Structure 1
Amino acid sequence: MHYVSTRADASAPSSDSSSAAQFSDILLGGLAPDGGLYLPAEYPQVTGAELDAWRKLSYADLAIEVLKKFATDIPEADLAALARRTYTPEVYRNARPDESAAAITPLRTLEEEGGKKLVLQALSNGPTLAFKDMAMQLLGNLFEYALAKQDAQLNIFGATSGDTGSAAEYAMRGKRGVRVFMLSPHKKMSAFQTAQMFSLQDPNIFNIAVEGVFDDCQDMVKAVSNDLEFKARHKIGTVNSINWARVVAQAVYYFRGYLAATTSNDQKVSFTVPSGNFGNICAGHIARMMGLPIDKLVVATNENDVLDEFFRTGVYRVRKSAETHHTSSPSMDISKASNFERFVYDLVGRDPARVRALFAKVETDGGFDLSGQPGSDGDEFAKAAQYGFKSGKSTHAERVQTIRDVADDYGIVIDTHTADGIKVAKEHLEEGVPMIVLETALAAKFNETILEALGEDAERPAGFEDIEALPQKFTVMPPDVDKVKAYIAANTGL
């Protein structure tokens, strides 16, 4: 299995690492040297016989089967050991009382009426109570494995709108040879999210609160990734969803959701995914391209509706920082979706020159238009339907009402992002096709809105009762790449 960059220049030397790379070559990095994102040269396929065999597997063993299709240069025995160390009931121990921790991602049918079925897939039972743990815990073990093989060090540089940061830090804390430098938008995460990250006192964890929005943080990560000399000298890697290993690890729970919701391979399911940076639903796109029988992939956004606008109109219009709303589902307060480039690459026929031109237009003009209307940049949007994408948005008032309705109707308390997902999912239910909503986080992480919606605090798993009262360690900085580089250089020892 080889990987190519979405922006690969066919005229580049064959030694350029942005083409024909293997899984281990790209594991520790982020962007390709040409600024693109890595994808398989071709998607591995899954047969019906494989799906039948996979129905009997544990989550860890299912992960092995999916991962070995992509990480062909890592011995299967090593992959197996890493997956079985990661996906255990002890790691994913925060299941609700009526859920099985051993299932890792248990499904709950919320309603079934008139042939329409709405299902919630729990993805937030890990150590930081968010779906990011599903991939990040594996990534931490993969990183440690790869660094030990090379006797090397890695300085992880990432950005978070709330959950990636804590998931990465909990996965990497204490890992040999790894430091984490995590950017987050200052005072724009929930109190719980902030405390989860900033209360960590581990010497290999560095939290940087940026005076701006998430997109400012993400832009700085990309700027550092594109400074190849600085990146090499300071051994910079990333855990953001531009990291391919994270995306492919997320594809596993689409397979698990499908296999748990169906009894035969002639059935289809749809997924609704709360989306900001397009990484989570991009994993669903990967699973669908592998042959998983997915009917629709529904993108659910909040007031920051860049992705909803594209999937309705074909226009991708990035918002400026001042136009990005600070909402009660803050992990989706993103107006420049990094992983969207991976889908666009497929949409335009895997033409890297076309991708380079479109994303150059994002930088110069703030977006592009593939609607095919007069004056647009192309007509590829007409082909988007073949990939199954639909979309919708949810506002604060709608997510508060959805939290109330779900508590009243189904007896569970959901977080704000999952509320966005359920609201949008109900708009796309079809007879005979189960709709699986991917849970984003446990409600306790967004207690401010739960209190508003229900008049009482969200229940907290053991060990998180007074997390906001813990001492916090972080550094506040302006959105200045040079200042961030200087901070990294001063704390890496390299």
Structure 2
Amino acid sequence: MHYVSTRADASAASSSPSNASFSAASFSDILLGGLAPDGGLYLPAEYPQVTGAELDAWRKLSYADLAIAILKKFATDIPEADIEALARKTYTSETYRNARPDENAADITPLRVLEDEGGRKLVLQALSNGPTLAFKDMAMQLLGNLFEYALAKEGTELNIFGATSGDTGSAAEYAMRGKQGIRVFMLSPHKKMSAFQTAQMFSLQDPNIFNIAVEGVFDDCQDMVKAVSNDLEFKARHKIGTVNSINWARVVAQVIYYFRGYLAATKSNEEKVSFTVPSGNFGNICAGHIARMMGLPIDKLVVATNENDVLDEFFRTGIYRVRKSSETHHTSSPSMDISKASNFERFVYDLVGRDPARVKALFAKVETDGGFDLSGAPGSDGDEFKQVARYGFKSGKSTHDERVQTIRDVADDYGIVIDTHTADGIKVAKENIEKGVTMIVLETALAAKFNETILEALGEDAERPAGFENIEALPQKFTVMPPNVENMKAYIAANTGL
């Protein structure tokens, strides 16, 4: 299995066939990094395919064993015994212990049927039973173990530089805290996360964890991560890696729970399901796209956004228009307060026929003009939007008042309390559900992480798992900085000793 960059320069490959940004990169080559040297994102040269016989066999597997089967298709350069050990170390009921009373923690991602009437079936897939109560734990726990494994083999160290709009940061820090040879520098938008999310990150006192609160929005944080990643000399000298969803290994780890959800929701491979995914950075639903490309019988992939509706606009119109920081709304589903979707480039690469020159030109236009138009209308940048339907994408959006009402309705109708992002997902899922096709909504987080809105919606606090009762009262350690790349590089250099 080899990996290519979405912006690979074929002429560079012909003069240097070993150019890892083009076609010679293995899973291990790209594991510790983020962007390719040419600024693109890595994808398999060809998606591995899954047969019906394999799906039948996988129905009987535990989550860890399913992870092993899928990881073996992508990480072909890692010994199978090592993959097996890493997966079994990661996916345990002890790690994913925060299941609701009516769920089985051993299932890791249990399903709950919300509706099953008149051929319309709505299912919630729990992904938030890990240590930070968010779906990001599903990938980040594996990533932490993979990083430690790779660094030990190489006898080196890694400085992780990432950005978060809320949940990635705490998931990464909990996965990497205390890991040998790893430091984490995590950017987050100052005063724009929930109190719980902020406390989860900033209360960590581990010496290898550095929290930086950036005076701006998430996109400012993300832009700095990309700027540092594109400074190849600085990146190499300071051994910079990333855990953001641009990291390929993290996307692969997310592919696993799409297979798990499908296999748990169906009885035969003749059935199809659809998934609705709350999405801001396009990483989570990009994993669904990859699962579908591998042959998983997915009918529709439904993107659910909040008021920051860049992705919804594209999947309705073919226009990708990035918002400025001043146009990015601070909402009650803050992990989706994103106006520049990093992983979207991976889908665009497939959409335009895997033409790297086309991808490079389109995303250069994002930087110069703020977006591109693939609608095919007069004066547009192309007509590839007509191909979107064959990839099964639909979309919708939810506003604050709608998510508050959805939280109330779900509590009244199904007896469970959901978080604000999952509420966006359920609202949009109900608009797109079809008879005869099970609709699975991917849970984003447990409600306790967004208690301010739960209190508004239900008039009472969300229940907290044991150990999180007074997290906001813990001492916090963080540094406030402006969105300045050179200042950030100086901060990293001063704290790495490299």
**TM-score normalized with structure 2 length:** 0.99
Supply the distance in 2 between the matched residues of 1:15 and 1:249 (Cα, whole angstroms): 34
Distance 1:18 1:236, change over 3 A: farther
Supply the distance in 2 between the matched residues of 1:230 and 1:381 (Cα, whole angstroms): 38
Report deviation, 1:68.
0.5
Indicate the residue corresponding to 1:73 in structure 2. 77
List gaps (5 residues or longer) in structure 1.
Answer: none
| 2:385 is aligned with 1:385 | no
Distance 1:457 1:77, change over 3 A: same
Q: Aligned runs of 1:299-338 on 2, under 5 Å?
A: 299-338=303-342
Supply the distance in 2 between the matched residues of 1:294 and 1:428 (Cα, whole angstroms): 14
Supply the distance in 1 between the matched residues of 2:81 and 2:187 (Cα, whole angstroms): 35
- Kept in 2, the 8 Å contact 1:63–1:83? The answer is yes
| 2:219 is aligned with 1:196 | no
Distance 1:187 1:15, change over 3 A: farther
Report deviation, 1:15.
8.1
- Kept in 2, the 8 Å contact 1:318–1:335? The answer is yes
Deviations 1:333-373 (A, max 9, x none): 00000000000000000000000000000000000000000
Deviations 1:41-69 (A, max 9, x none): 00000000000000000000000000110
- Kept in 2, the 8 Å contact 1:274–1:440? The answer is yes
Deviations 1:4-25 (A, max 9, x none): 0000000114686443200000
Report deviation, 1:160.
0.0
RMSD: 0.7
Supply the distance in 2 between the matched residues of 1:218 and 1:302 (Cα, whole angstroms): 19
- Kept in 2, the 8 Å contact 1:68–1:79? The answer is yes
Deviations 1:252-306 (A, max 9, x none): 0000000000000000000000000000000000000000000000000000000
Supply the distance in 2 between the matched residues of 1:488 and 1:188 (Cα, whole angstroms): 23
- Kept in 1, the 8 Å contact 2:201–2:211? The answer is yes
Supply the distance in 2 between the matched residues of 1:166 and 1:19 (Cα, whole angstroms): 33
Correspondent of 1:434 among 419, 435, 438:
438
SS of the residue 2:428 aligns to: helix
Indicate the residue corresponding to 2:162 in structure 1. 158
- Kept in 2, the 8 Å contact 1:271–1:437? The answer is yes
- Kept in 2, the 8 Å contact 1:394–1:424? The answer is yes
SS of the residue 2:301 aligns to: strand
Report deviation, 1:170.
0.1
Supply the distance in 2 between the matched residues of 1:134 and 1:76 (Cα, whole angstroms): 21
- Kept in 1, the 8 Å contact 2:121–2:439? The answer is yes
Supply the distance in 1 between the matched residues of 2:121 and 2:497 (Cα, whole angstroms): 55
- Kept in 1, the 8 Å contact 2:27–2:74? The answer is yes
Correspondent of 2:111 among 97, 102, 107:
107
Q: Aligned runs of 1:32-71 on 2, under 5 Å?
A: 32-71=36-75
Deviations 1:406-462 (A, max 9, x none): 000000000000000000000001011000000000000000000000000000000
Report deviation, 1:113.
1.1
Supply the distance in 2 between the matched residues of 1:169 and 1:15 (Cα, whole angstroms): 41
SS of the residue 2:245 aligns to: coil
Supply the distance in 2 between the matched residues of 1:358 and 1:477 (Cα, whole angstroms): 32
- Kept in 2, the 8 Å contact 1:311–1:391? The answer is yes
* Identical counterparts, % of pairs: 91
Deviations 1:167-226 (A, max 9, x none): 000000000000000000000000000000000000000000000000000000000000
- Kept in 2, the 8 Å contact 1:413–1:458? The answer is yes
Deviations 1:55-114 (A, max 9, x none): 000000000000110000001110000000000000000000110000000000000111
Q: Aligned runs of 1:206-355 on 2, under 5 Å?
A: 206-355=210-359
Supply the distance in 1 between the matched residues of 2:383 and 2:61 (Cα, whole angstroms): 43
Supply the distance in 1 between the matched residues of 2:476 and 2:22 (Cα, whole angstroms): 39
- Kept in 2, the 8 Å contact 1:169–1:205? The answer is yes
Supply the distance in 2 between the matched residues of 1:227 and 1:23 (Cα, whole angstroms): 22
Indicate the residue corresponding to 2:360 in structure 1. 356
Q: How many residues align?
A: 494
Indicate the residue corresponding to 2:9 in structure 1. 9
Supply the distance in 2 between the matched residues of 1:222 and 1:12 (Cα, whole angstroms): 22
Report deviation, 1:131.
0.1
Supply the distance in 1 between the matched residues of 2:217 and 2:433 (Cα, whole angstroms): 34
SS of the residue 1:69 aligns to: helix
Distance 1:26 1:15, change over 3 A: farther
Supply the distance in 1 between the matched residues of 2:286 and 2:326 (Cα, whole angstroms): 27
Indicate the residue corresponding to 1:90 in structure 2. 94
- Kept in 2, the 8 Å contact 1:298–1:425? The answer is yes
- Kept in 1, the 8 Å contact 2:13–2:22? The answer is no
Distance 1:15 1:257, change over 3 A: farther
**TM-score normalized with structure 1 length:** 1.00
Supply the distance in 2 between the matched residues of 1:221 and 1:66 (Cα, whole angstroms): 29
- Kept in 2, the 8 Å contact 1:61–1:84? The answer is yes
- Kept in 2, the 8 Å contact 1:18–1:33? The answer is no
Indicate the residue corresponding to 1:31 in structure 2. 35
